[in-house]
């Protein structure tokens, strides 16, 4: 089913490369698409979902970038495996919950992914490392055009692409960043910035999107609506406003260091020391300590740990990854011990 291959491969968009990669972990573009003449997934029968699954599977895997990729049948995955795909940001919470007759189609470098029979028939996703809204948009639209050569997408001359949720009607386009904002959090400026973004019609969510908690000062920032606006216009608007957030974060880090240099140094070195030596650590504390270390490395206060190492740690120290690595069911203190061991060995 492809799960083992996908689980073992490194995510290319966690490489820590690209513009502002010390602040922006990754850029993602998602396109919502539905097949012409087919009912939306929440109204479709099981027979219809199966037919959609087969049509999309055949057409997508014909694309050059997916030739050597993988097909992950969500019905064949265990709950832990589905959670692992969520932790990798390849599958959405909706796909994990509503996994019947659903697929995850994954390109060989894991930067192009199609979710089948999630909220819409297709959710086309493209990821890039760092802050790359324009090139990520261009790559996603090129992939979409390729797929439209063999798939007939539901489209209305007045409304654009038709989607299950009204907020996606139009382009079906969602541009988002996974962004690390510890400076704004520690300086108590984060709510002011996030409220300004909301007023500008952006959504701000936790690590796994809607309804998820904020961990390790990691946020998802996305555009809200797409009706009546082109993908290029949405990307330009996004870039203009979100670039300011990156600058605010840089300034907040500098101010923290100027105001309390010993306090900041103590915090980042103490967090690295805990990760080096802890024998029990919860996921929440691991997120917080990795957040401090990530900022300390970016400020030049710690040894130059590669950003790819820290980015991968944010994913692989989570519960499902730890359990799969252990090879058997673990929870509570045993899981905390396994997580601590993984982080000790990673950052030695």
Q: Say what the pTM is.
A: 0.92
Query: Which domains occur in the chain, in start order?
Result: 3-253 (3.30.590.10), 260-346 (no CATH)
pLDDT at 209: 54
Question: What stretch of H or E contains 31?
Answer: strand 24-33
- β-pair partners for 179: 24, 219
Which is higher by pLDDT, 297 or 199?
A: 297
Q: How confident is the model at residue 210 (pLDDT cuts 50, 70, 90)?
A: low
Q: Which residues touch 105 (CB under 8 Å, ≥6 apart)?
A: 56, 57, 60, 61, 66, 69, 70, 71, 72, 113, 114, 115, 116
Asked if residue 213 has pLDDT above 80, the reply is no
Share of the chain above pLDDT 90, in %: 73
d(C-alpha 72, C-alpha 109), whole Å: 15
pLDDT at 347: 85
- β-pair partners for 128: 27
Q: What is the pLDDT of residues 243-258, one digit of tens each?
A: 999 999 999 999 999 9
pLDDT at 208: 58
- Helical H runs in 98-189? 133-148, 182-186
d(C-alpha 103, C-alpha 80), whole Å: 16
Q: What is the pLDDT of residues 278-308, one digit of tens each?
A: 999 999 999 999 999 999 999 999 999 999 9
Query: What is the rounded average pLDDT for all residues in the chain?
Result: 92
């Amino acid at each position: 089913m492809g799960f083992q291959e996908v689980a073992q491969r490194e995510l290319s968009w966690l490489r820590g490369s690209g513009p502002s990669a010390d602040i922006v972990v990754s850029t993602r573009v998602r396109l919502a698409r539905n097949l012409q003449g087919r009912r939306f997934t929440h109204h479709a029968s099981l027979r219809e979902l199966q037919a959609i699954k087969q049509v999309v599977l055949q057409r997508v895997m014909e694309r050059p970038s997916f030739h050597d990729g993988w097909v992950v049948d969500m019905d064949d995955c265990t709950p832990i495996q589905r959670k692992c795909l969520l932790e990798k940001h390849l599958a959405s919470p909706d796909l994990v919950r509503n996994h019947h007759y659903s697929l995850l189609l994954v390109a060989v470098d894991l930067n192009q992914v199609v979710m089948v029979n999630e909220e819409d028939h297709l959710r086309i996703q493209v990821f890039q490392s760092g802050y790359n809204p324009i090139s990520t948009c261009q790559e996603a639209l090129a992939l979409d055009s390729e797929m439209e050569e063999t798939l007939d997408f539901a489209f209305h001359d007045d409304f654009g692409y038709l989607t299950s949720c009204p907020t996606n009607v139009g382009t079906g386009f969602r541009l988002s960043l996974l962004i690390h904002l510890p400076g704004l959090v520690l300086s108590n400026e984060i709510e002011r910035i996030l409220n300004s973004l909301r007023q500008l019609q952006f959504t701000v969510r936790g690590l796994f999107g809607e309804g998820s908690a904020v961990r390790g000062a990691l946020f998802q920032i996305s555009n809200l609506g797409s009706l009546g606006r082109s993908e290029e216009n949405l990307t330009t608007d996004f870039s203009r406003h979100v670039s300011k957030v990156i600058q605010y974060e840089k300034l907040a880090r500098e101010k923290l260091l100027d105001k309390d240099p010993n306090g900041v140094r103590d915090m980042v070195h103490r967090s690295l020391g805990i990760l080096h030596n802890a024998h029990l650590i919860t996921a929440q504390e691991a997120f917080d300590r990795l957040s401090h270390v990530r900022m300390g490395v970016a400020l030049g206060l710690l040894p130059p740990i590669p950003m790819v190492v820290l980015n991968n740690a944010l994913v692989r120290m989570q519960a499902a990854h730890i359990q799969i690595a252990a090879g058997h069911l673990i929870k509570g203190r045993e899981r905390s011990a396994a997580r601590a061991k993984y982080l000790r060995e990673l950052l030695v």
